[in-house]
Amino acid sequence: MKKLYITRTAPNPRKALILLASKGIDVDDMDDIDVVDIDFAAKEQMSEAFTKINPMQTVPVLTLDDGTVLNDSQAVCEYLDRVYGERSVMGNDVVQRAQVCSMRRIAEFEVLYNLMLAFQHSHPSKAQRVEQVPEFVAPSIARAVKALAYFETSLEGHDYLVGDQLSFADIVLYLGLDFGKALKVDPTAHGENLAQFYARMHERFSIKKMAKAKPTEANE
Ligand SMILES: N[C@@H](CCC(=O)N[C@@H](CS)C(=O)NCC(=O)O)C(=O)O
C-alpha cells in the first residue's frame, strides 16, 4: 500500500489534497493510498519514526509500494497527477505544461515561499526549526505582496492563470493567498481579479471545506 503523509492545514501538503480534489478524488477514499496525518502540534514531523522516512522532517511525503520515497510536494504532485484522474493539472500539451510550470514557479517562489519565510522567522512554533531573524519578516511579506500585482494583471479577463481550466499554478497561487492570512495579508485587498479568484478557489478548497469528517461515537 502507498502511504501519503500529510498535515491538512499546511500549504505544501494541501497542494496534493487540492490537486486530487480538483480531479474529483477524495484522498480518504483512495483504494491504494493510506493517508497518515502528521500532527505538527505534537511535533510528529520531528519524531524518530518519521525522520527515518523523511530526514528533512517535512510533509508531504508519498511512499510507493516498492519503497520509493517522494519527499517534496512538487514530486508528490507530479506523481499523483500522472497516476490518478483523467486530465492533467500540470498542462495538457507541451506549451501548456511549460506555461503552468512558469506560472507555478512565480507563484511559489515570489508569493508562497516569501510568506512561508516570513512565518518561519516570526512564529514561535518555528523557533526550533530555523534561527529566526525578525528583520526578514517585513521585507519577505513586501516581496510577496509586490508579486501579487503580476497575478492581478494575469487574471484580467480569465478565471484561471493558464488556459480555461484549473491548473497546478492556480493551486499554488491560491495557497499563497490563503497562507498570507496568517501574516495579516488580506487576499481580497490586492485587486478585484485576485479577490474573485481567491473567493472561487476558497469556496472549493478551503481547509474547512476539505476537512476530513471526524468519526464521532455516534457514527463510529
Ligand atoms: N520543499 C518541500 C517543503 C515542504 C515543507 O516545508 N513543508 C512544511 C509544511 S508546509 C513542513 O513540513 N514543515 C515542518 C515544520 O515546520 O516543522 C516541499 O515542497 O515539499
pLDDT digits (tens, 9 = 90+) for 102-134: 999 999 999 999 999 999 999 999 998 899 999
Average pLDDT over residues 32-59: 97
pLDDT of 50: 98
Distance 12 CA to ligand 1 centre (A): 6
Distance 3 CA to ligand 1 centre (A): 17
Which ligand 1 atom sits closest to the C-alpha of 72? 20
Which ligand 1 atom sits closest to the C-alpha of 46? 17
Residue nearest to atom 19 of ligand 1 (CA): 73
Q: Is 58's C-beta closer than 6 angstroms to any atom of ligand 1?
A: yes
Question: How many independent structural domains does the chain possess?
Answer: 2
- How far is C-alpha 163 from the chain's CA centre? 21
Model confidence pLDDT, tens digit, residues 130-162: 999 999 999 999 999 999 999 999 999 999 999
Say if residue 186 is in the same domain as residue 101: yes
Assigned domain for 110 exists: yes
Range from 86-90, 108-112, 209-213 carrying the lowest mean pLDDT = 209-213
169 DSSP assignment: H
Say if residue 113 is in the same domain as residue 76: no
CATH of the domain at 157: 1.20.1050.10
Assigned domain for 214 exists: no
Residue 85 has pLDDT above 70, yes or no: yes
Q: Which of 83, 116, 150 is the last residue of a domain?
A: 83
Assigned domain for 219 exists: no
Residue 178 has pLDDT above 80, yes or no: yes
Q: Is 89's C-beta closer than 6 angstroms to any atom of ligand 1?
A: no
CATH of the domain at 35: 3.40.30.10
Instruction: Count Cβ neighbours within 10 Å for each residue of 19-46 and write b for 16 or more, e otherwise.
Output: bbbbbebebeebeebeeeebeeeeebbe
Q: Is 129's C-beta closer than 6 angstroms to any atom of ligand 1?
A: yes
Residue 101 has pLDDT above 50, yes or no: yes
Distance 8 CA to ligand 1 centre (A): 12
pTM of the model: 0.95
Residue 49 has pLDDT above 60, yes or no: yes
Q: Is residue 217 very low, low, confident or very high in pLDDT (cuts 50, 70, 90)?
A: very low
Give every CB contact of residue 111 below 8 A, 6+ residues apart in sequence: 144, 147, 148, 151, 172, 173, 176, 177, 180
Say if residue 52 is in the same domain as residue 139: no
d(CA 24, CA 119): 31
d(CA 220, CA 218): 6
pLDDT of 128: 86
Q: Which helix (H) or strand (E) holds 177?
A: helix 168-180
Phi, psi torsion values for 43, nearest 5 degrees: 55, 35
Say if residue 176 is in the same domain as residue 75: no
Distance 192 CA to ligand 1 centre (A): 30
Assigned domain for 60 exists: yes
pLDDT of 211: 83
Q: Which helix (H) or strand (E) holds 62?
A: strand 61-63
Instruction: Write out the residue range of the structural domain in which residue 75 sits.
Output: 2-83
Q: Which helix (H) or strand (E) holds 104?
A: helix 94-106
Phi, psi torsion values for 20, nearest 5 degrees: -65, -45
Residue 9 has pLDDT above 70, yes or no: yes
Distance 203 CA to ligand 1 centre (A): 25
pLDDT of 215: 47
